[in-house]
Amino acid sequence: MASTPDRQTPRLFSPGSWTEASRIAAILRLETVGGLLLLVSAVVALVWANLPGDTYFTVREYHLGPASLGLDLSVHHWAADGLLAIFFFLAGLEVKREFVAGDLRRPRTAAVPIAAAVGGMIVPALIYVGVNLMQTDRPAGALAGWAVPSATDIAFALGVLAVIGQHLPSALRLFLLTVAVVDDLLAILVIAVFYSNDISLGYLAAAMLPLAAFTVLVQRRIRSPWLLMPLALLTWVLVHHSGLHATLAGIFLGLAVPVLGRADASDPDSGAGLADHFEHRWRPISAGFAVPVFAIFSAGVYIGGRSELASALSDPIALGVIAGLVVGKPIGIFLTTWGVARFTRAELDERLRWLDVFGVGVLGGMGFTVSLLIGSLAFGEGTTANEHVTLGVLVGSAAAAVLGALILGLRSRAYRLMYEQEGLDEDGDGIPDMYQQEQQT
């Protein structure tokens, strides 16, 4: 008689639900394009910043906007505070979806990626601080950048994963996506607590009024942009003036959107909340315009000759960022995941190895969007320290991508077999047999 699996033994990275696996596949297809655009934008920024003349820096620091409203901001400021609010709006949607309707609504499933995200933020921060404390010639205020290597870039990481890990099991893809999403949420909390100055409670209280009106409308399934956009923009303006970073408005608005639809089958929104509607509308704008434009006006840094580049990369700030991303991220993600498994006595899915988890953790070291944002907040736009942060983020992210590709490439044949197994549908009902078995157990 065949033995049955022990249902009391928790399983890490089991296949999960078919709904979640298919949704992750759809996101990966979109983020592949977004990741490529982000890479192209970073290259354009580097080339433009190193052309003769100062056109790049002139355009980046050009101010525009209504001064009477306190919005006479530089182009870089508009990209970082304005366009990235769209990116964080989608991050808010994704966080809420995962914990309300996704596989992470179950505490046992959610514990691992949340713990991994926390470990993946703490260890890089400690390594950055350690590298700088060991350097007696570190620049003044260098420790202010401790949070720079703590963020994982969703677009870059998933874009690279979609290219080099096309056959990676869906559970590992979901793990990386969830770690990146929780990572962004924690990063925005870090920005709110440690990188916001002179908080105005009056403006913050005022921002709650249009936010509350926006929440009431979306909860009633009203999707008219003529009603929602003015409220969203007013929320952004008031949060900007409150002293909190304006991208927090995007998180607040995203968390307000309902994920679940009405139970009434005759209702056109039955079965799906407005989150799907907004994500389909705004994700292409975020991946195709908002984030690439931010990259163009954030990744540009003057490199100069070999000696100047070597000097910049030997700066404790750049070294701390690189070490945090390349070493700290995988160690933090891997050790925390392993520790949770030991504590809960969970076992890896029999198809996987701990090398797979480490490889995904290495890809988690691809920090870009939020890392550059934190760098500009920590050291100020256009400063030498911020330029060294940018170089460190670019070098560290590239190294993480290469190392992650090499590690995951060692198991490419096994991944291909898993991929084929996940797609097997012998009864022809459109749902692979593996997911049906998982749901039944």
Q: Domain-by-domain residue ranges, the chain?
A: 12-71+107-181+288-423
Q: What's the length of the chain?
A: 441
**What are phi and psi for residue 63, nearest 5 degrees?**
-100, 140
Q: In sequence order, what are the beta bridge partners of 12? A: 348
- Cα(321)–Cα(316) distance, integer angstroms: 8
Query: Token pair of 208, please?
Result: 């709650």
Q: What is the pLDDT of residue 234?
A: 96
Single out the residue of 20, 24, 339 nearest to residue 165, CA to CA: 24
Query: Token pair of 91, please?
Result: 């991050």
Architecture of domain 12-71+107-181+288-423: Up-down Bundle (1.20)
Phi-psi region of 53 (alpha: psi -120 to 50; beta: other; left: phi over 0): left
- Cα(268)–Cα(270) distance, integer angstroms: 6
**What are phi and psi for residue 348, nearest 5 degrees?**
-65, 150
Q: What is the pLDDT of residue 307?
A: 63
Check if the beta carbon of residue 63 is closer than 8 Å to that of residue 226: no
Which residues contact residue 27 at a Cβ distance below 8 angstroms, ignoring those fewer than 6 apart?
158, 177
Q: What is the pLDDT of residue 288?
A: 85
- Cα(365)–Cα(231) distance, integer angstroms: 36
State the SS3 of the chain. Answer: CCCCCCCCCCEECCCCCHHHHHHHHHHHHHHHHHHHHHHHHHHHHHHHHCCCCCHHHHHHCCEECCHHHCCCEEHHHHHHHHHHHHHHHHHHHHHHHHHHCCHHHCHHHHHHHHHHHHHHHHHHHHHHHHHHHCCCCCCCCHHHHCCHHHCCCHHHHHHHHHHHCCCCCHHHHHHHHHHHHHHHHHHHHHHHHHCCCCCCHHHHHHHHHHHHHHHHHHHCCCCCHHHHHHHHHHHHHHHHHHCCCCHHHHHHHHHHCCCCCCCCCCCCCCCCCHHHHHHHHHHHHHHHHHHHHHHHCCCCCCCCCHHHHHHHHCCHHHHHHHHHHHHHHHHHHHHHHHHHHHHHCCEECCCCCHHHHHHHHHHCCCCCHHHHHHHHHHHCCCCHHHHHHHHHHHHHHHHHHHHHHHHHHCCHHHHHHHHHHHCCCCCCCCCCHHHHHHHHC
Single out the residue of 356, 371, 362 nearest to residue 333, CA to CA: 362
Check if the beta carbon of residue 291 is closer than 8 Å to that of residue 85: no
CA distances from residue 155 to 64, 159, 239, 349 in whole angstroms, order as listed: 28, 6, 26, 27
Q: What is the pTM assigned to this prediction?
A: 0.82
Q: What is the pLDDT of residue 179?
A: 84
Query: Token pair of 18, please?
Result: 């078919």
- Cα(79)–Cα(401) distance, integer angstroms: 25
Report residue 121 CA to chain centroid gap: 12
What is the chain's pLDDT, residue by residue, as a tens digit (441 residues)?
444 444 455 667 766 665 666 666 666 666 667 777 888 888 899 899 888 888 999 999 999 988 888 889 999 989 988 998 998 898 888 878 877 876 667 777 778 888 999 999 999 999 999 999 998 777 878 899 999 998 877 667 766 766 665 667 777 877 887 788 788 778 878 888 888 777 888 999 999 999 999 999 999 989 899 999 999 999 999 999 988 888 889 989 999 999 876 655 455 554 557 888 898 889 888 888 998 898 899 888 888 766 677 777 888 999 999 999 999 999 999 999 999 888 887 778 788 889 989 998 998 898 888 888 889 888 987 788 888 999 999 999 989 988 988 898 888 888 788 777 665 545 554 555 555 554 444
Q: Which residues of 295-328 are buried (b: 16+ CB within 10 A; e: fewer)?
A: bbbbbbbbeeeeeeeeebeebbbbbbbbbbbbbb
